[in-house]
Structure 1
Amino acid sequence: MNTQIPALSVNKLTKTFDVSAPWLNRMIERRPKLFVEAVSDISFTVEKGTCFSIVGESGCGKSTVARLVTGLYETTSGDISFGKGAGGRPIRVQMIFQDPHSSLNPRWRVGDIIAEPIREMKLRDKETETQDRVRELLETVGLSADDALKFPHEFSGGQRQRISIARALASEPELLVCDEPTSALDVSVQAQILNLMRRLQKELGLTYLFISHDLSVVRHMSDNIAVMYLGKIVEKSAVEVLFTAPQHPYSKLLLATIPDIENPARRVEAQAGEPPSPLNPPSGCAFHPRCPLAMDICRQERPKLQDLSQECQVACHAVS
């Protein structure tokens, strides 16, 4: 039995955004306030040294989860707690953003970008030690120590993401929240960055919360996966369980869209319709308008996440 304290525990997390029109417009047009529940009552844990991935279509709420965990958004309700790091202090968390072109300050040299968290957190006593650490980090992510003197625009997209990773590592975190870190990169460069992240995880004992819409990327990185749909987790399981025996109809739909190398000419028929608007979500199970297994109860009652086995939980009335 695993008694290890998780690196991250999320319990009944909910985030609601006020998307109302400006006050004057609402008064003139007599329009009510509008709210969107981007994340709805989700729970999961991430064990130390593992990679937990959250997947789903754009707008499902997965990036909101990343920003809640890193403190960029305040929670509406629910709890986020972290395990203990070195010396009993709370685990340090850093984020790797999706777009390396916009997440790096174009006016700063790379050395200063990486050194900033070291200086702010006073992780080194002397400036010479800070500069040594910057050079060490650049070499760790596969760049040259001399690159510290350059500006971000002098690098390719893949190299910029390596700089972003070096900056994230500068604060000596135990948990990295990765918000689609390879989606802005070419496929060949994606593989290089993913291999780098796996190597760093092994060498440094890192824990990852990995956000992605690309299931092939997720399979390469993950130990456990949560599938989100319209702000809710609909399936949560070990990675190979999901890929070999998906249970929720939405998980099956996502897996069916992965290109098949052995049969590239196959036709994948997507389920009819688009994801519903979060401003006006369907009653009951949010997936029922697109689900081939939908029953009357699906339109009336929201399914709860239930244990199907030790390695799989599913929220679906049609699966038992």
Structure 2
Amino acid sequence: MNELQQETAPALSVSHVSKVFDVSAPWLNRVLERRPKLFVEAVSDISFTVEKGTCFSIVGESGCGKSTVARLVTGLYATSNGDISFGTGATGRPIKVQMIFQDPHSSLNPRWRVGDIIAEPIREMKLRNSEDETLARVRELLETVGLGADDALKYPHEFSGGQRQRISIARALASEPELLVCDEPTSALDVSVQAQILNLMRRLQDELGLTYLFISHDLSVVRHMSTHIAVMYLGRIVEQAPVEELFTNPQHPYSKLLLATIPDIENPKRRVEAQAGEPPSPLNPPSGCAFHPRCPVALSKCSQSAPDLCPTSAHGKVACFVAQDANNTAMEKAAV
């Protein structure tokens, strides 16, 4: 790969990735009760790319598989099918990846001082030549995320939730990554603290040239952070588009449902039609399009086969027969 290709190659490429978990009962229970093995496909044949310096967000309800995607990208889970590849960094080597976890209370070792928590990746990866340089780097990282150098001597329980998440960000930055996988990094925080953490992450992205894979169920957070958005439903990506295109002209009925839940300041008393039914169990997904039992515009073929993720605009894609038919009709009228 030449230098130009390295510059233009995406930071992350996910190609036809699936993840199946064995959720069967213990062997003896299955023998005694004559129950078969049970599997759940948490992620089903998803593909996307994340360009360098951008923020690609994945949104959806709890249980849709978005956190599983984060763990697949970081190697915490192995893929059942498909391929995950990374671009090259400034050194010509594959870019480094780190993860910011959802809960800052459980993701930090309570027995370690903050300085040791942040210094561990520096020491393990031998990123500094001496202990003095390592400690200086720890102090620099603490100040970068808005904490004091003296905080290195404290323990995690001495900090608030927002401060702990800042420590988690500092630890993630310690290994000098180019790609950060953020698994709902603000969902456990108060709203006012969320804004501080998000603004910090935006600033770090601008200053350090970071690339984000951002996982969230909060659309207002996603709109503030994202360049591109993928909407997941029951393990599949049902729509993918640039952030403003998705918010102004959503194509998939599920995307429209999610956007309808956002409070409207200009029209707070607007009437929102309730969607029928609950999300189906991933243990027993419906045939065809998984959203068709709840979809207000479902066709007969929606229950028979699952639509592919097809382009509907210059940058957007949607997996919906109704949206694809409407787009094809509009293109035919425009051609005439």
| Runs of 5+ consecutive residues of structure 2 not aligned to the other structure | 325-336
Question: 1:73 — aligned with what?
Answer: 77
Deviation at 1:273, TM superposition (A): 1.0
| Runs of 5+ consecutive residues of structure 1 not aligned to the other structure | none
Task: Give the secondary structure class of the aligned counterpart of 1:94.
Answer: strand
Aligned pairs (5 A) from 1:33-112: 33-112=37-116
Q: Does 1:246 align with 2:250?
A: yes
Among 185, 209, 214, which residue is 1:210 paired with?
214
Structure 2 distance, partners of 1:312, 1:270, is 27
Aligned pairs (5 A) from 1:155-174: 155-174=159-178
Task: Give the secondary structure class of the aligned counterpart of 2:285.
Answer: coil
Q: Give the letter aligned to residue 20 of structure 1.
A: S
Q: Does 1:273 align with 2:282?
A: no
Structure 1 distance, partners of 2:302, 2:277, is 17
Deviation at 1:180, TM superposition (A): 0.2
Q: Does 1:198 align with 2:202?
A: yes
CA RMSD in angstroms, aligned pairs only:
0.9
Task: Give the secondary structure class of the aligned counterpart of 1:167.
Answer: helix
Aligned pairs (5 A) from 1:87-166: 87-166=91-170
Deviation at 1:107, TM superposition (A): 0.5
Question: 1:14 — aligned with what?
Answer: 18
Question: 1:307 — aligned with what?
Answer: 311
Q: Give the letter aligned to residue 168 of structure 2.
A: S
Question: Deviation digits for residues 242-273 of structure 1, max 9, x if unmatched?
Answer: 00000000000000001112222334333111
Q: Does 1:317 align with 2:321?
A: yes
Under a length normalisation based on structure 1, what TM-score does the superposition of the two structures give?
Answer: 0.98
Deviation at 1:87, TM superposition (A): 1.4
Structure 1 distance, partners of 2:269, 2:170, is 41
Question: Deviation digits for residues 154-174 of structure 1, max 9, x if unmatched?
Answer: 100000000000000000000
Among 267, 282, 286, which residue is 2:286 paired with?
282
Q: Does 1:224 align with 2:233?
A: no
Question: 2:332 — aligned with what?
Answer: none
Structure 1 distance, partners of 2:271, 2:26, is 46
Q: Give the letter aligned to residue 70 of structure 1.
A: T
Structure 2 distance, partners of 1:215, 1:129, is 41
Structure 1 distance, partners of 2:123, 2:190, is 33
Structure 1 distance, partners of 2:274, 2:170, is 39
Q: Percent identity?
A: 83
Task: Give the secondary structure class of the aligned counterpart of 1:254.
Answer: helix
Deviation above 6 Å: which 4+ runs of structure 1? none
Structure 2 distance, partners of 1:237, 1:287, is 19
- Of residues 201-210 and 305-314 in structure 1, the stretch that sits farther from structure 2 once superposed is 305-314
Structure 2 distance, partners of 1:237, 1:258, is 18
Question: Deviation digits for residues 77-113 of structure 1, max 9, x if unmatched?
Answer: 1000000012111100000000000000001000000
Q: Give the letter aligned to residue 116 of structure 1.
A: E
Q: Give the letter aligned to residue 111 of structure 2.
A: R
Aligned pairs (5 A) from 1:183-194: 183-194=187-198
